[in-house]
Structure 1
Amino acid sequence: MKTTIAKVISTVGHPFLTVPLFAVFLLFSIESTQRAIYLSLLIVGGIFLPIGVRTIWGVRKGTYTNLDVSDQAQRQKWFVATILLLLLVTIIVWATNQAWTLRLALACALGLLLLAQLVNRRIKASMHLAFHAFLGFLVLSLNWIAGVCFLLFAVPLAWSRIHLGRHIWKEVVVGMGLGTLLGIAFWILH
């Protein structure tokens, strides 16, 4: 029963679910419908769709052990592709002078991935917790109560990652720390 609960929590807190959902929500909150659709397609289609397909393909081919890309060495290759796509989308968003909130959020997310890749050489930081903490600060900037509730979900999310054997406590704490660092940077600059 615990493992089933841990899987549900881990899935609900997966960055491939939470980040695009938040991005689309944010865009429809701050942009016109037409612009929000365009930017959502750019972000989801330019980052999440190709990385998702690449990850699934990698699992099927045996390049990646699982969809979480939990192996530290395998994760380095995953980071390169993800960072390049995020960099490209970030450049497009900055070059087209989109809303400051979106430009800043993408720049901080890029910084988070770059830091996580550097840290990954020594420790496999939890990307679930890194992006969860980061998104928590973005949610805080929109709604204080929702942000606090979102951040409190980090406790069961951390437990689930450890229970499923994807991380140890140190990796969860490092992931949370990275996300918090970039979340605070967003908060200050926003």
Structure 2
Amino acid sequence: MKTTIAKVISIVGHPFLTVPLFAVFLLFSIESTQRAIYLSLLIVGGIFLPVGLKTLWGVRKGTYTNLDVSDQGQRQKWFVATTFLLLLVTIIVWATNQGWTLRLALACALVLLVIAQLVNRRIKASMHLAFHAFLGFLILSLNGVAGVCFLLFALPLAWSRIHLGRHIWKEVIVGTALGSLLGVAFWVLH
């Protein structure tokens, strides 16, 4: 029963679910409908769709052990494609002079991913917790109560990642610290 609960929590807190949902929600909150559709397609279609397909394909081929890309060595290769796509979308968003909130959020997410890739050489930081903490601060900048509630979900999410054997406490703490660092940077600069 505990494992089932941990799996559900881990899926609900998966960055491939939370990040695009937040991005689309944010875009439709701050942009015109037409612009929100364009930017949502750019972000989801330019980052999440190709990385998701690459991850699924990698699991099928045996390149990745699981959809979380939990193996530290496998994760290093995964970071390269993901960072490249995020960089490309970030450049497009900055070059087309989109809104400050979106430009800053993407720039901070890119820095978070680059730092996580560097850190991954020594320790496999939890990307679930890194992006969860980062999003928590983005949400906090828009709505204090929603942000605090979202950030509090980090506790069961951390437990789930450890219970499922994907991470140890040190990796969860490092991931949370990385996400918090870039989330605070966003909050201060926003």
Equivalent position of 1:19 in the other structure: 19
TM-score by length of 2: 1.00
Task: Give the 3-state SS of the residue equivalent to 1:70 in structure 2.
Answer: coil
Equivalent position of 1:87 in the other structure: 87
Cα distance in 1 between the residues matched to 2:150 and 2:72: 27
Task: Give the 3-state SS of the residue equivalent to 2:35 in structure 1.
Answer: helix
Runs of 4+ deviating beyond 2 Å? none
Cα distance in 1 between the residues matched to 2:76 and 2:165: 20
Alpha-carbon displacement from aligned partner over 1:32-88 (angstroms, at most 9, x marks no partner): 000000000000000000000000000000000000000000000000000000000
The answer for unaligned runs of 5 or more in structure 1 is none
Cα distance in 2 between the residues matched to 1:26 and 1:120: 29
The Cα RMSD (Å) is: 0.2
Deviation of 1:153 after TM superposition, in Å, equals 0.1
Equivalent position of 2:66 in the other structure: 66
Cα distance in 1 between the residues matched to 2:187 and 2:38: 25
Alignment of 1:1-190 (within 5 A): 1-190=1-190
Q: Equivalent pairs: percent with the same residue?
A: 88
The answer for unaligned runs of 5 or more in structure 2 is none
TM-score by length of 1: 1.00
In the comparison of the two structures, how many residue pairs are matched? 190
Alpha-carbon displacement from aligned partner over 1:75-119 (angstroms, at most 9, x marks no partner): 000000000000000000000000000000000000000000000
